[in-house]
Amino acid sequence: MTRRRFSLALPLAAALVAGLAGSAPADDPPAAKGAKVPAWETARTTAPGSIADLRALEAATKRVVDKTTAATVGLFIGMGAGSGVIVTDDGLILTAAHVSGSPGTKCKVILPDGTEVAGKSLGTNTRIDSGMIQITDKAKAPDGKWPAVAVGKSGDLKKGQWVVTLGHHGGWRPGRPPVARLGQVLDSQKDLVRTNCTLVGGDSGGPLFDLDGKLVGIHSRIGFTLAQNIHVPVDGFKTDWDQLLAGVEVGKAKAAPAVYFGASFEDAEGNEVKGAKGAKVTLVVEESPAAEGGIRVNDEITSFGGTAVKTADDVRKLLARRRVGDEVEVVVARGARTETLTVTLARRRP
């Protein structure tokens, strides 16, 4: 018999469990067999405050896992492994763009019971990391239909709301169901959801559920720590749904032309230069936007468009967000003085 694996990702909640257990009488009996467990309000944003609360949260988590496990699949594409979730009974899978790869790529889909079926990648939106895959091996669908989950609304998520992740970390493994982890929403924005649910390699593309068992996100990447992770909001998939189904790489054909600044820096590799106040300029191209804006050799750029900078990489990242014709305020340290200049960005030269 395969045992279900859970991970309570939130250290605070783990401490609370220990604290509650320690404060209860040593002979505190388990819930009586058949006793009704109180309901956990699915939109609740606070931590459990009692043993009864913990039992209610546990029961809600188990319902989500039982309801969604069959649709949580492992994906093998080339040499990479990831996760995904089936959202329609004809085998449409939502995953991360960096998992699905380019449209038309063939892949292997593995259901939790070990059933292997063929699939192909559809469209992607690499800006938010959303991707779709279609199961093409229709004949293996049980009773002609694949298990699927309900798609919810990521825009309804609240900070502190409890959520559940599933995923095949390290790739699908025989006899191991998708690993479930419980946590809370740290932040919910238009283009990303951040939670403290632990994610590791192989979880990418897996599902994030609210406690109603509805899909609200897809795992994208690990944050600064294992307990600060990024998910693609499911609402982002809805915005691009028709294009993703059609195999379109959303936004790729409409990329803005690269802008031209016209300066080189001492920290060419993007590393901070010891003793420098900012990104130190070593070359200014004649008649370039930098030259016409008053940038000089040995200037140290400390602010670009209102954002503080220290390295050449900082400047490059900010340039990547700009468009041809933008007027950018550039602050430089010039010897003992500080100068504020205005640079008008041009189209990058061929």
The answer to whether residue 21 sits within a structural domain is no
Average the pLDDT over 196-210 and give the result: 89
Q: What values do phi and psi take at 22, rounded to 5?
A: -70, -30
Is residue 82 in a domain?
yes
What are 213-263's pLDDT values in tens digits? 999 999 998 876 667 789 999 999 999 999 999 999 987 644 455 788 988
53 alpha carbon, distance to own chain's centre: 29
Q: In this structure, is residue 276 part of a structural domain?
A: yes
Structural domain contains residue 221: yes
Q: Is the same domain home to 267 and 338?
A: yes
Among 102, 123, 144, which residue terminates a domain? 144
Token pair of 91 as six digits: 């085998």
User: Which range of residues forms the domain containing residue 214?
Assistant: 154-233
Look at residues 83, 116, 144 and tell me which one is the last residue of a structural domain. 144
Q: How many CB atoms within 10 Å of residue 78?
A: 9
Distance set, CA 87 to CA 102, 156, 215 (Å)? 20, 19, 9
Question: Would residue 133 count as lying in a domain?
Answer: yes
Q: 331 with 263, same domain?
A: yes
CA pair distance 103, 246, nearest whole angstrom: 9
- Classified as helix, coil or strand, 324 is coil
> Domains in the chain: how many in total?
3
Q: What is the pTM of this model?
A: 0.64
| 28: in domain | no
Amino acid letter, residue 59: A
- Digit-coded pLDDT (tens) for 97-137: 999 988 999 999 999 888 899 999 999 999 999 999 999 98
Determine the distance from the C-alpha atom of residue 82 to the mean position of all C-alpha atoms in its chain, rounded to a whole number: 13
Question: For residue 9, is it left (φ>0), alpha (ψ between -120 and 50) or beta?
Answer: alpha
pLDDT of residue 265: 83
30-77 tens-digit pLDDT: 555 555 667 888 889 999 989 999 999 999 999 999 999 999 999 998
Torsion of CA 187, 190, 191, 194, to 10 degrees: 10
- Residues 138 and 175 grouped into a single domain: no
Query: Is the domain of 285 the same as that of 320?
Result: yes
* Block residue for tokens 């449409």: 92
Residue 255 pLDDT = 46
Does residue 207 lie within any of the structural domains?
yes
Higher-pLDDT residue of 140 and 207 is: 207
Going by pLDDT thresholds of 50, 70 and 90, the confidence category of residue 14 is very low
In a domain, 307, yes or no: yes
Query: Could you report the per-residue pLDDT of 47-60, keeping only the tens digit for each?
Result: 998 999 999 999 99
Residues 172 and 220 in one domain: yes
Shared domain for 79 and 112, answered yes or no, is: yes
Residues 6+ apart with CB under 8 A from 84: 72, 73, 74, 75, 93, 94, 95, 99, 100, 109, 133, 205, 206
Q: Which residue has the tokens 């998520």?
A: 157
How many whole angstroms separate alpha carbon 236 and alpha carbon 241?
8
Note whether 263 and 336 are same-domain residues.
yes
Q: Are residues 263 and 331 in the same domain?
A: yes
Task: Give the model's pLDDT for residue 269.
Answer: 52
Residue 23 has pLDDT above 80, yes or no: no
- d(C-alpha 17, C-alpha 1), whole Å: 27
* 218: CATH: 2.40.10.10
In 87-150 the beta strands, taken as DSSP E runs, fall at 92-96, 106-110, 116-125, 130-135
The one-letter amino acid at 228: Q
> Residue 80: its pLDDT value, please?
83
Query: Which CATH number fits the domain that encloses residue 276?
Result: 2.30.42.10
